[in-house]
Structures are given as C-alpha cells and as structure tokens.
Structure 1
Amino acid sequence: MNAYQFSAGTLPLLLSIPHAGTRLTPEVESGLSDKARSLPDTDWHIPDLYDFAREMGVSVLSANYSRFVIDLNRPPDNQALYTTATTGLYPETLFDGTPTFKPGMTPDAPLRHLWLQQIWQPYHDKIQYELAQIKRRFGYALLFDAHSIASRVPRLFEGQLPDINLGTNGGASCTPEMTQRLTQCCAAQSEFSWVLNGRFKGGYITRAYGKPGENQHALQLELAQDNYMDEHPLFTWRSDKAQRVRPLLKQLMETMLQHQGRQP
C-alpha cells in the first residue's frame, strides 16, 4: 500500500500533510454512510495551497489515504488527544457527530491493525527518517504540520474558528523564542485572525516529534477552510482566496527557518 507521496528538499524543514488523502480501501469505501461519502472531514487542497513549499526547497510529505481509513495524526494506541469532543485513530463519527459507517459496516479489528502497519507506520517511519536526515545535515530539524478544517463545527468548538490556529503543544514542541517570532509574524498583519494553542494545540505528530531539547522543533497550523475553498460539497478550490493567505503561510515557514538559523 503506497501510504504517501514525498518530495525531497534542500532546507532543514519538513512539511507534513497527513489529512489531505482521499484514497479508500474497498472495505471503507463500501461501508461509508451517505453523509461520509463526500469525505467531508478531509483537509481539501492542502498540497495545492502549499505548492510554494517545494519551490522554497522544503521537503514535502503528503498522505494518500483518507483519515476515514486511519488517522495519521492520532497515536497508535488510540488514546484521546483532547478532553473535548474529537475523533480517534479509526474515526467512527464525522466532526458533526454523525456516523462514518453504515450500520454493521464498520471495518473489523484485524483490518484496522493491517492499516496501522501498512499506512500509519510507513508515514511515521518516513517522518522520523527525514527528520533524522535533516538533523544529521544541519544539526537541527523543523517540522511544519499543515491542516485545515471548516470554520464552523459546533460539536468541536463554539462560534467561528480563527483563520490561523497555531499549535505548539502548549509551548512544548518548539522553543519560546520561536513561538514568539511566529506570533509576531501573525500580529504584524491584520487581514487574518489568529490564535496560539487555542482549540487546536497540535495532534500526535506535533506532540511526538516536537522535541526542542533535541534540536527538533514542530508547529501545527490548522487553517480555517473558508480562507481558500468552499466549505460545503463540492469543496471547490478558491484561487482568489488562496492567493491572499499563501503569503502568510510562507512567511510562517520562513520565520521558522530564519529564527532557527540564528540559534547557536
């Protein structure tokens, strides 16, 4: 099973895109509920939104399989990341709380264990390998975990989500100095609202691989989808909106690179 696509870069930064995949296994495809068939909780178009990263020289890792098969940003033991409403390693409900699968069509445990081995594990092995290679070359490694979500999901959060949601695992996944530079970057502009460690503090990827004490720094960015696409089926790409938000996304990456480059 080809779990991901990867493009090698020349900079000490790895861009991870774990939720943009749309490939389904036969068992998941046949079992999806009517509401889930449009894959509503996908991080639609994120590889296209961040297409500038390859031109910068950033390494890019993007998942092929849908989170409805297995969620690459959840721990392998399926422990909850948040005390509030969330979805698990094998999502059985959509973000709005409706069932992911038709009655009696939820994939069984042996299949799910196979997907853990053949989809989840290769993606995480690749993250670890690339971060190790980057650190070997530069002495440090940076990870930017890119996500998106509908701007309004009442089951998960009240009201409308800020445009830019930075997550550093409560300050544990990168240095305070890097966090400060990233927030300054957001505060220097007024077009997009933002928050640090709000509803989304970082999922498993940020928490597992953000180790500033080992010169390995991670940031999750959860972007409200109304900034670059239509939020309802057919989930259409909006190039006019994407062009406005791309410069800030690029600036955040550049901020990580420039700040770390000044560290002893």
Structure 2
Amino acid sequence: MDFEQKTDLTDPYSFSRAVLQSAPFLFNSPHSGRCYPDQFRNSSKLDATQLRRSEDAFIDLIFSDLPSKGIPLMAANFPRAFLDLNREPYELDPHMFNEALPPYAKSQTPRVGSGLGTIARIVSENQEIYKHKLSLAHALDRIELYYKPYHKMLRHQLARIHVQFGYACLIDCHSMPSRIFRHLPSGQQPDIILGDRYGISCHSDLTEAAYAILTDLGFNVALNNPYAGGFITQHYGRPTKGLHALQIELNRALYMDEETICPGVNFAAIQKAMTNFSEQLQLSTSRLFRPTKAAAE
C-alpha cells in the first residue's frame, strides 16, 4: 500500500469503480489526501508532520478493498489542511487574506471562527498554518480547481446510483483523534462514531443497520456525539428524495500511531473489519427502508 506523502497534485480525486455494483452505496473519504503541493508547504510555518495533524490519515486505504466487493470508493488526493471538502465552498476567514472577501463568502460561521473554514487557518492541534496572509485569488483557485470538480463528481456518482437503484447511500468516512476521549474511562471511549445529523440525513434503518453490524464486530459505537456529520452529510442527505448520507468516524488509535502518523500494528485487522462491515451493510440493503406495516397495508 502507498502510505507515503506526496507533493505532485494533479487530479483532485481518485475514483475506484466497483467491479460489479449490486447495491446503492458510495463510500467517500474527503480528508485522507496525502498530496501536499510544494507551494502550499512553502507557504506554511509548520513542518510536514505538523501539517498532517488534520489529515484523516490512511482512511482511503482502510476502505480500499471495497471496489473489489462491489462498492465504489471516492477519495480526495489533497489534504484537509490545503482545502476542506466538508465545508461550504466559501467559508472563508477575512483575516487570512490580503484582499477583501467577495460578497458571497460566508465569514461568520462557527467553523470559520474556529479556524477550520474551507481554507483552514490552523491544523487540529491549534497551530497556525501560514507564514503570511494569502492571496485571495490563489484561495479561490483552489476552490475552482479542486473543490468544485470533487463535488461535481460526487453528485454525478450519487445521481448515477440513484437512477440505477432508485435510491443512493453515501457513507462519508473520517477519523478522529483519540486524545479527545482521554477524559473517559477506557471502556467508555468510542471506537467509532456514526453521524446522521440526529436522524435527518438518512433513513433510520441505515443508521440502525450500521450500528448493529459494527457492534457485532466488537466495536464500541456512539451516535452523533461529538460528531453528527458535517457539510457533506448535511448537504447530500435528502432521505425524502432517496438520498441517504451517513458519516463514520474511526478512532485513530485503532489503526495508526498518531504521533508519527504511521500505520499501526492493527492496521490490517481494522481494514479487514471495515471491509466486513461494508459487505454486511451492502447485503442489508434488501431490508433497509422497509415500509411500515400501515404503509404496506
């Protein structure tokens, strides 16, 4: 597997088609990109390891066996610190740029206030990324060249699946730092958090099936706390229109060394478990979104 960090960013995403897709699923990894362009790295005051603190490292590889099991997988090639796909397209911090923001920019969102807008100001360790203020034109270029093509492809694939099966299920894959759970006793620390925007972004059958499968696989699973799903889950989850979006967050301590950002001894086991989970979730589609007794009658 290719765990290495790169600097050559050509395509905004990689898309691995399913060998034979037989269920309405698309898995997506928007924060696991490892291509750090030279211009971006040179503009930062952080070293390579520090820059990667916001990266959902190796999540694309954790789910990389899915296409061979009939499930397509989409992943960003660029990192979250460079451009965050799980934000609205123009959540921008006016203090980061030399010029005034365009009137359509959203600069007052909580995400911008925390330094984690579409163009992030900090990495997750609350460290400032940039040496100097940025050119607004350069930031807007990132959105045009990488953000918009990514979401265009995501929409296209979901529409294709919806036409083929009558509905589509987006599983948005992320990872979370283990340190946020250090205050909890070891038995209460979640391995996985599922986010469905508190029941809004997908049918409850999908959430319940994912929860049951993961629990049966031996994981400690939580729901919506503290991660209920971001922009992608909220934006693409339209259950009344047959579009269902569920976020899954894996505790990084399960599969990697968080200090060195290297795969851990359990990487292969977690990868196998996530492939198993995905296959079982795919097989459950025949039981998902079942009509109520009243509706059936």
State the Cα distance separating 1:188 from its structure 2 match.
3.0
What is the TM-score normalised by the length of structure 1? 0.87
Could you say if the C-alpha distance between residues 187 and 24 of structure 1 is closer, same or farther in structure 2, counting changes exceeding 3 Å? closer
In structure 1, the partner of 2:286 is 261
State the Cα distance separating 1:217 from its structure 2 match.
1.1
In structure 1, the partner of 2:55 is 42
| Separation of aligned partners in 2, 1:83 and 1:116 | 16
Superposition pairs for residues 79-158 of structure 1, below 5 Å? 80=109, 85=114, 87-102=116-131, 104=132, 106-153=133-180
Could you say if the C-alpha distance between residues 37 and 249 of structure 1 is closer, same or farther in structure 2, counting changes exceeding 3 Å? closer
| Residues 189-212 of structure 1: per-residue CA shift (max 9 Å, x gap) | 44x322110111111111111111
State the Cα distance separating 1:76 from its structure 2 match.
1.0
- Partner of 1:40: helix, strand, or coil? helix
Could you say if the C-alpha distance between residues 88 and 115 of structure 1 is closer, same or farther in structure 2, counting changes exceeding 3 Å? same
Residue of structure 2 aligned with 1:31, choices 43, 58, 66 = 43
Q: Which moved more, 1:249-258 or 1:75-84?
A: 75-84
Structure 1 position 77 matched with structure 2 position 90: yes
Does structure 2 conserve the Cα–Cα contact (< 8 Å) formed by 1:27 and 1:107?
A: no
Q: Superposition RMSD on alpha carbons, in Å? A: 2.4
| Separation of aligned partners in 1, 2:88 and 2:134 | 19
| Residues 80-104 of structure 1: per-residue CA shift (max 9 Å, x gap) | 46699562111111112111122x2
Structure 1 position 241 matched with structure 2 position 266: yes
In structure 2, the partner of 1:219 is 246
* Structure 2 stretches lacking a partner, 5+ long: 1-9, 92-105, 291-297
Could you say if the C-alpha distance between residues 86 and 242 of structure 1 is closer, same or farther in structure 2, counting changes exceeding 3 Å? farther
State the Cα distance separating 1:159 from its structure 2 match.
3.1
State the Cα distance separating 1:253 from its structure 2 match.
2.5
| Residues 45-91 of structure 1: per-residue CA shift (max 9 Å, x gap) | 11221122112111111111121221011111315466995621111
Matched AA of 1:201: A
Counting aligned pairs with the same residue, the percent is 27
Between Structure 1 and Structure 2, how many residues are aligned? 256
In structure 2, the partner of 1:173 is 201
Could you say if the C-alpha distance between residues 158 and 207 of structure 1 is closer, same or farther in structure 2, counting changes exceeding 3 Å? farther
In structure 1, the partner of 2:225 is 198
Residue of structure 2 aligned with 1:15, choices 16, 22, 27 = 27
Q: Which structure is larger by alpha-carbon Rg, 1 or 2?
A: 2
Could you say if the C-alpha distance between residues 81 and 133 of structure 1 is closer, same or farther in structure 2, counting changes exceeding 3 Å? farther
* Structure 1 stretches lacking a partner, 5+ long: none
Matched AA of 1:188: D
What is the TM-score normalised by the length of structure 2? 0.78
| Separation of aligned partners in 1, 2:33 and 2:77 | 4
Q: Which moved more, 1:215-224 or 1:241-250?
A: 241-250
Does structure 1 conserve the Cα–Cα contact (< 8 Å) formed by 2:53 and 2:125?
A: no
- Partner of 2:158: helix, strand, or coil? helix
